[in-house]
């Protein structure tokens, strides 16, 4: 199996999807790390018998110092892949460079649309007819790395921020294990800034 470390800040429903699909994806989650002590995902990890680690960013004097400590903690598990699953921190270039080509993130929008926060609200406000979620490789550009897989949903007449968020989350739990499984099985790589599945370059922009 391919060893992975998952970083979370909150509920950890994506973490749960990854826990539940470890056999199918041929992965083993060797640690879960949260920057928030109250993150429910820590309980999910403990219930699955996975080491759950808290690294509070407030305990470090700078973003750089926190990222260095985080890197050390992650590397002590020697994972092949780092998976960001609702990890709500902006990462330093030293961190993103260190995991170049071996770190994935899931972002609740059809990137390159709506980078950053409050994606569902912003999609509604913009009058989008479609919305969705993107898994992408992580680079120093916030939510800007090469996209790997997207799921799209229609925006309905009476959608609210909450209803959209719920329907997008269902899709997240489907596509994240798919992307992680591709990587774990050697099918997904980052080549010259482009995601590559088997021998095929994936589209550079949202698709």
Catalytically annotated residues: 107
Distance, CA of 13 to CA of 127 (rounded, Å): 28
Question: Which residue lies nearer to ligand GAR by CB, 32 or 190?
Answer: 32
Question: Which residue lies nearer to ligand GAR by CB, 10 or 101?
Answer: 10
Distance, CA of 205 to CA of 50 (rounded, Å): 35
Least distance CB 151 / ligand GAR (angstroms): 11
Q: What sign does the CA torsion over 139, 152, 88, 8 have?
A: negative
**Is residue 177 part of the contact set for ligand GAR (CB under 6 A)?**
no
Least distance CB 198 / ligand GAR (angstroms): 26
**Is residue 172 part of the contact set for ligand GAR (CB under 6 A)?**
yes
**Is residue 7 part of the contact set for ligand GAR (CB under 6 A)?**
no
Residue among 205, 114, 92, 203 at smallest CA distance from 164: 114
Question: Which residue lies nearer to ligand GAR by CB, 79 or 108?
Answer: 108
Any residues with CB less than 8 A from the CB of 166 and at least 6 apart, and which?
none
Least distance CB 109 / ligand GAR (angstroms): 9
Any residues with CB less than 8 A from the CB of 14 and at least 6 apart, and which?
85, 86, 106, 172, 173, 176
Question: Which residue lies nearer to ligand GAR by CB, 107 or 167?
Answer: 107
Q: What are phi and psi of 142, to 5 degrees?
A: -55, 120
- Residue closest to ligand GAR, measured at CB: 86
Per-position DSSP letters for 177-191, written without gaps between them: HHHHHHHHTT-EEEE
Instruction: Considering only residues 20 through 59, tell me which ones interact with ligand GAR, judged by CB under 6 A.
Output: 41
Q: Which residues bind ligand GAR (CB under 6 A)?
A: 8, 10-14, 41, 85-86, 106-108, 169, 172
């Amino acid at each position: 199996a391919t060893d992975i470390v998952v970083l979370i800040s909150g509920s950890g429903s994506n973490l749960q999807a990854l826990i539940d699909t470890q056999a199918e994806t041929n992965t083993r989650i060797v640690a879960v790390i949260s920057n928030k002590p109250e993150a429910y995902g820590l309980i999910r990890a403990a219930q699955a018998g996975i080491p759950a680690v808290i690294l509070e960013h407030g305990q470090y004097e700078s973003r750089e110092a926190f990222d260095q400590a985080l890197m050390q903690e992650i590397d002590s598990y020697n994972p092949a892949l780092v998976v960001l699953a609702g990890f709500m921190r902006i990462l330093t270039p030293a961190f993103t460079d260190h995991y170049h080509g071996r770190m994935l993130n899931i972002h609740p929008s059809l990137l390159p649309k709506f980078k950053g926060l409050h994606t569902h609200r912003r999609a509604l406000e913009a009058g989008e007819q479609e919305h969705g979620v993107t898994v992408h490789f992580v680079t120093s550009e916030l939510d800007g790395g090469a996209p790997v897989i997207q799921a799209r949903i229609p925006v309905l007449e009476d959608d609210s921020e909450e209803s959209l968020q719920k329907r997008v989350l269902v899709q997240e739990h489907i596509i994240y294990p798919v992307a992680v499984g591709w990587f774990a099985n050697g099918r997904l790589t980052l080549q010259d800034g482009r995601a590559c599945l088997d021998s095929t370059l994936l589209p550079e922009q949202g698709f």
